[in-house]
Structure 1
Amino acid sequence: MEKAQEWFNYGIELAKEFGPKLITAILIYIIGSWVIKKLISSLRQVMSKSKYDESLQKFLLNLLTWSLKVFLIILVISRLGVDVTTFAAVIAAAGLAVGLALQGSLSNFAGGVLIMIFRPYKIGDVIEAQGVLGVVKEIEIFTTKLTTPQNKLAIVPNGAMANGNIINYTAEGMMRVDITIGIGYDENIKNAKEVLLGVLTSNPKIMKDPAPSVNVSQLGESSVDLAVRPYCTPEDYWDVYFTTLENCKLALDDAGIEIPYPHSVEIHKES
């Protein structure tokens, strides 16, 4: 009983000494988190009204949110009685080891900053980078999120994005659709070109300027290959691609123009 009383008294002393600090630290954290949330929400509204670029807006808000949270944690720790100077020294000492361990993350952060500065792409652009083709959904501090044509989410590190090749299909406001269609060697090339051009000019989603074109691209083994080249907006690319491919086949069939296909010849030896 005496031992239990001693522990109880010791607990009471600890509660008296650290209780107020702990309660204050918890209140600071709760109020601080609420203030950060309200501040970020207000800044988001201001940026939206000021027509800030969506990519820059999200990047800056994410960066500010994390910075404020780190400051809040340091404030809470200092309120608990931990010497902030000592704490900072410990963080600085551990910073080198953490930095070496997180070289990739630091590179991605630097890549995100470079993307925000030089703006090779923005949210909504159709790009191809690091072997991925898709629409830019979000540019975060460390990664860029793309939505692929298969509606898959691709997450690419910003370090690789900033240091690699990027093809931005949206920057010029148009994309060229590349389709190759073969016709038989006995067919009239001029007639085939007229039929295919008719398909292109009748599609309202295909641009008039630059004008679509149909040209001989190759004399193949079994066909004369025609390069069908319409232009459209990035948003209409896949619709124009599939529609043009189908309509070209139907138009050539209606015109009686043969689209050859490989034939195999079997040789039977007489026994």
Structure 2
Amino acid sequence: MTPIEIQNYLETIKKLILEYSPKLVVAIVILLGGLWATSFITKAAKKIMLKRNIELTLSTFIGNVIFWTLRVLLFVTVISKLGIETSAFVTILGAAGLAIGLSLQGSLSNFAGGILIILFKPFKLGDIIEAHGETGKVDEILIFSTKLITATNQIIYIPNGILSNGKIKNYSQLGIRRADLVLKTAYDSNFSDIKNTILDFVKKHQHVIQNPNPEIIISELTDTHVIFTVKVWTNNSDYTKVCSEILEFSKSVVRL
């Protein structure tokens, strides 16, 4: 390469730097400011919705939608400042969106599932639910999935599409639940005494709800044992403790 060609090459680079440097600086400023603004606007929107007593599930979901919508608009603004023709880009983005939409039908169904969950409210944040073989506390309803935290502190993400179309068991919605504790005793034991002893215990238990009344019924007769069920009502927060304490007490009463 001759010295003249090198000089021309350097002049071209210098010209491009001078031409695009202001655009690049403006784009970077807009990007940094936009990233801060999207987070600020999203947090402000969530605070406003909470002050107006909009349900936390709905406010979180709307906040996520606002966040990602603003991020997409920020991206388009930044590339326009770099000199890229946005009209052509929007056309390309639309075509790409159609192609991506066809290939990501599952994700779109998950988004629609999230909308259905928000609208029909089969559960809300903080509820204990069982769905698709998993049980946990609803920690967050995202755009495409719902986040559960199990009793063993594991995080499970269930796609909203299958969640909205599947069977959901909500343990928290009614506030109280019934514990059905299955026990067995020998045929030669005095079932009446066992029943009265356990009933006396559960009626005095501070976490057992007395209306509906606790009850004990014989549920099955096997070749060797009488199977009976202790049915008591309690608040959701006390369920595990009540079950454990009744079983612990019953161990000293029944005869195997």
Give TM-score, length-normalised by structure 2: 0.95
Corresponding residue of 1:177: 179
How many angstroms does 1:69 deviate by? 0.4
Task: Specify the code of the residue in structure 2 equivalent to 1:39.
Answer: I
Corresponding residue of 1:162: 164
1:5-32: CA deviation from partner (whole Å, max 9, x where unpaired):
2222111111122221111111111112
How many angstroms does 1:72 deviate by? 0.7
Corresponding residue of 2:127: 125
Comparing 205-214 with 160-169, greater Cα deviation is found at 205-214
Corresponding residue of 1:35: 37
Rounded Cα–Cα distance in structure 2 between residues aligned with 1:206 and 1:127? 22
Rounded Cα–Cα distance in structure 1 between residues aligned with 2:206 and 2:8? 88
8 Å contact kept, 1:199–1:248: no
Aligned length: 254
One of 77, 83, 86 as aligned partner of 2:85: 83
Corresponding residue of 1:193: 195
Task: Specify the code of the residue in structure 2 equivalent to 1:204.
Answer: Q
8 Å contact kept, 2:43–2:63: no
8 Å contact kept, 2:131–2:169: yes
Corresponding residue of 1:3: 5
How many angstroms does 1:51 deviate by? 2.5
Rounded Cα–Cα distance in structure 1 between residues aligned with 2:141 and 2:229? 36
- 1:204-219 equivalence runs, <5 A: 204-219=206-221
Rounded Cα–Cα distance in structure 2 between residues aligned with 1:240 and 1:146? 24
Corresponding residue of 1:202: 204
Task: Specify the code of the residue in structure 1 equivalent to 2:129.
Answer: I
Task: Specify the code of the residue in structure 2 equivalent to 1:26.
Answer: I
- 1:234 paired with 2:240, answer no
Rounded Cα–Cα distance in structure 2 between residues aligned with 1:24 and 1:148? 47
- 1:70-109 equivalence runs, <5 A: 70-109=72-111
8 Å contact kept, 1:25–1:80: yes
Rounded Cα–Cα distance in structure 2 between residues aligned with 1:46 and 1:94? 35
Task: Specify the code of the residue in structure 2 equivalent to 1:114.
Answer: L
Rounded Cα–Cα distance in structure 1 between residues aligned with 2:153 and 2:241? 15
Q: 4+ residue stretches of structure 1 with deviation over 4 A?
A: none
One of 143, 149, 156 as aligned partner of 1:141: 143
Corresponding residue of 2:16: 14
Instruction: Please state whether the residue corresponding to 2:227 is helix, strand or coil.
Output: strand
Q: CA-atom RMSD, angstroms?
A: 1.4
How many angstroms does 1:154 deviate by? 1.2
Give TM-score, length-normalised by structure 1: 0.89
Unaligned runs of 5+ in 2: none
Unaligned runs of 5+ in 1: 261-271
